[in-house]
Structure 1
Amino acid sequence: MSEGTVQIPERKAVDGAISPREFIRRGAVFFLLLALVIIFSIAQPAFINVNNLMSILQAVSVVAIIGAGVTVTLAIGGFDLSVGAVAASSVMAASYAMIVLNLNAYETVPLVLVFGAIVGLVNALLIVRLKVPDLLATLATMFLLTGLQLIPTAGRSISVGLILPDGTTAAGKVDPAFLAIGRSSVFGTIPFPVILMLIVAFVLYVLTERTRLGRLLYATGGNEAATRLAGANIARLKTFAYVLSGTLASLGGIIVTARVGRGDVSSGASLLMDSVAASLIGFAVLGLRRPNVLGTTIGAVFVGVLLNGLTMLNAPYYTQDFIKGAVLVGALALTYGISRSKA
């Protein structure tokens, strides 16, 4: 009898059968997303308008890109809490480079991306070399950047005609080519930030799911000691993850700057929490129960649909975070709870 019981999963795999519970577990996020779209479309028909849907994707593109970096750090068993501060600092750095230093877009973009990579390298140095726990290291970096970004302008936002601390007026302006990053569209319909989001998601999906490097990243998060014994360079893997996370956070900051056309000191206030939410929802996509870039992208769209729908229904702003948290708890509980009950 025990042998027959052991053979049941094998027969299911051969037959290709999926139990109803397993089907619900794998599709939980998609079912909830579909339910949200239907509810919001019925309550407010303008929600399903193509322009509004493109607006949602444009709004979540930054969260998805930053969340992809967080996902890579989760894959190695770490967690980057500094991404929101890196993105906000990148907003200020990009604006400062153009408005104060009078640089053009082709000089500003590489400069800001290098800034993000350097922050990721500093995080990796703290974590890998100095053995500081990842949460403490990235939290310290977050506080450092939050204060540092305010110093060059004495706490003021950066816009054309900025009065500098020495009393002079900044002579530069935001390069139109830079603004095109956040405001242009492809084929007149698809916002360029959405294209960037899809490119980042595709490249990182291939990297993490289809390459040896990706397998080593997940192996590091699963069993670091065994991965080291297998010959992998753990220090390099962790450094790669945090540098990539910092670079993607800077890319998100560039998109925000190009969209608003100025350096707003409060621009990155919600990016950390929304990116983390997208990454965590990603655990529930297809029932994978692990960090994955595809799931993070879907999670960002999920959060975007929810917030856009609540806004169109004139839901009070102070209830939106609660509702977002409740839906996140529901999605994860549905995914993990069904699996537990089945076991």
Structure 2
Amino acid sequence: MLRGVLKVQNNKAINFTKDWAIVIAVILLILIFTIAIPNFMQTSNILNILRSISIVTIIAVGLTVSLSANGFDLSIGSTATLANSVVVSMFVWYSMPTGVSILAALVAVVCVALFNAFLIVKVKIPDLFATLATMFIIEGLAMTYTGGGSISVGMPRLDGTPTEGTISAFFLTLSKTPWIILIMLVIVLLVHLFLTYTKHGRFIYAVGGNEEAAKLSGIPVNRYKTIAYIFSAVLAGIGGLLLASQIGSAQINAGAGYLMPAVAAAFIGQSFAGHGKPNAIGTLFGATLVGVLENGLVMLSVPYYSLNIIKGLVLALALASTYYSRKK
């Protein structure tokens, strides 16, 4: 009997560790870096970590919604680049007000979402291949639109045409602390509430869990797949807008570097609290794990060119954990 009790307790301990592994990992990393780096836990550094993960988290939460519908949007980095290019061009080239500039960028990214949905839902191309193709198409469109160069205040267009527009002070404020952190937290909360507590969110999970069963239940599968890709593109676009606000210009392939961290955050977060499926809160913790790790390594003077090795290993471990659990 004692053996049976111990076995039950061991199973509970293992399940607890598995369900909360991501939170435990974040806490352990913070403890290790706090011991190794005296000023790691200073308020300024904590805010710096939160600010640094804000754009990644927002883009990753969009990816989380597409993963919830059993999709995979590889075009999020290019979509962020497109939003970055469009919003800055509206300001600098055409002297448009803030609202119009942001709206133009969001319209552009919704078009990307509808194109993805067309390829996946109508043409029946698998998500991975469809969004891979879109990634290159949108990347090329963004570069063609900007003429293969950057856009910044006072810089003439490639044909020599002078520019007189400026980026509004309000727009530049969006990427400053605490606003960018608050935007991130609000988006995470809203997506969490949408996926967990609304009919539409549950339908998206149903589509991702078993598409055929969802169809038989009367759920319009194609519509909810489209909704998932709209979420993914719009949140990637918001990430691109905040990136434009942060750097004050549009750069070539500005959003490309956010693809891998966003994928890592979304997959790492699937195990949060035993969910075993994509969820917004878990994605936030996944991004926090990557952000704390990167910040600590930088403060320990680890060469910047080695950071991708660490982040790649973290992603590999996350994918291994996710798919090994599913196999079992």
Q: TM-score, normalised by structure 1?
A: 0.89
What are the ranges of 5 or more consecutive residues in structure 1 without an aligned counterpart? 186-190
- Which letter maps to 1:69? G
Structure 2 CA distance, aligned partners of 1:22 and 1:161? 58
Which secondary structure state, in structure 1, belongs to the residue aligned with residue 67 of structure 2? Answer: helix
Find 2:47's aligned residue among 46, 49, 54: 54
1:82-161 residue pairs with structure 2 within 5 A? 82-161=75-154
Q: CA deviation at 1:294?
A: 1.0
- Per the alignment, residue 289 of structure 2 pairs with 302
Structure 2 CA distance, aligned partners of 1:207 and 1:236? 16
1:325-340 residue pairs with structure 2 within 5 A? 325-330=312-317
Q: Deviations over 1:133-185 (max 9, x none)?
A: 111111111101111111233211111122213221111111111111112x4
Structure 2 CA distance, aligned partners of 1:69 and 1:263? 22
- Which letter maps to 2:116? N
Does 2:230 align with 1:243? yes
Asked whether the 8 Å contact 2:85–2:146 carries over to 1, the reply is no
Asked whether the 8 Å contact 1:116–1:248 carries over to 2, the reply is no
Does 2:247 align with 1:254? no
Q: Deviations over 1:187-208 (max 9, x none)?
A: xxxx211111111111111111
Q: CA deviation at 1:84?
A: 0.4
Q: Deviations over 1:254-310 (max 9, x none)?
A: 101111111111421311111101001011222322111111111011111111111
Q: CA deviation at 1:228?
A: 0.7
- Per the alignment, residue 71 of structure 2 pairs with 78
Aligned residues: 323
Which secondary structure state, in structure 2, belongs to the residue aligned with residue 106 of structure 1? Answer: helix
- Per the alignment, residue 315 of structure 1 pairs with 302
Asked whether the 8 Å contact 1:28–1:331 carries over to 2, the reply is no
- Per the alignment, residue 257 of structure 2 pairs with 270
Structure 2 CA distance, aligned partners of 1:159 and 1:97? 11
Asked whether the 8 Å contact 1:287–1:335 carries over to 2, the reply is no
Structure 1 CA distance, aligned partners of 2:75 and 2:253? 15
Q: Give the 3 Å change call, closer, same or farther, for CA 340–205 of structure 1 in structure 2.
A: closer
Structure 1 CA distance, aligned partners of 2:197 and 2:172? 35
Asked whether the 8 Å contact 2:192–2:281 carries over to 1, the reply is yes
Does 2:204 align with 1:204? no
Q: Give the 3 Å change call, closer, same or farther, for CA 335–142 of structure 1 in structure 2.
A: closer
Structure 1 CA distance, aligned partners of 2:319 and 2:118? 33
- Per the alignment, residue 195 of structure 1 pairs with 182
Structure 2 CA distance, aligned partners of 1:50 and 1:216? 41
Find 1:176's aligned residue among 165, 169, 179: 169
Structure 2 CA distance, aligned partners of 1:173 and 1:336? 48
Asked whether the 8 Å contact 1:72–1:241 carries over to 2, the reply is yes
Asked whether the 8 Å contact 2:139–2:253 carries over to 1, the reply is no
Q: Give the 3 Å change call, closer, same or farther, for CA 203–41 of structure 1 in structure 2.
A: same
Structure 2 CA distance, aligned partners of 1:330 and 1:82? 23
Structure 2 CA distance, aligned partners of 1:37 and 1:100? 45
Structure 2 CA distance, aligned partners of 1:67 and 1:175? 27
RMSD (Å), alpha carbons: 2.2
- Which letter maps to 2:118? L
Q: Deviations over 1:5-43 (max 9, x none)?
A: 9xx9xxx8xxx9971111111121111111111111111
Structure 2 CA distance, aligned partners of 1:240 and 1:266? 26
